[in-house]
Amino acid sequence: MKSVLKIQSIRGDDEFQWDPGVEDEQLRRAKQEFAQARDRQFFAYSRSESGDTEVIEDFDPNAREILMAIPLLGG
């Protein structure tokens, strides 16, 4: 089953899929997009099959779903 990275954007969200355990271009692209979103202060969450979410700091290639949530400002 494919894993997916979802990054919130003006288009709703952008999806990047990869095969866990397969070191290929899709995985490299997902890692790169994750790193870029982190640089833009996005919050990173991993979501399991049961629907539970947890905060992650680094890209997890074995995660089922990773969500990059938009950064928030007060005021």
Three-class secondary structure of residue 23 per DSSP:
coil
Question: Could you say whether residue 71 binds other proteins (CB under 8 A)?
Answer: yes
Is residue 17 within 8 Å of 3, Cβ to Cβ? yes
The full length of the chain comes to 75
CB of 36 or CB of 41, closer to other proteins: 41
CB of 29 or CB of 47, closer to other proteins: 47
Is residue 16 within 8 Å of 5, Cβ to Cβ? yes
Region class of 34: left (phi > 0), else alpha (psi between -120 and 50), else beta: alpha
CB of 21 or CB of 55, closer to other proteins: 55
Q: Please give the residues from 4 up to 63 whose contact with other proteins meets the rule CB under 8 A.
A: 6, 8-13, 41, 43, 45, 47, 51, 53-55
Binding residues for other proteins (CB under 8 A): 6, 8-13, 41, 43, 45, 47, 51, 53-55, 67, 69-75
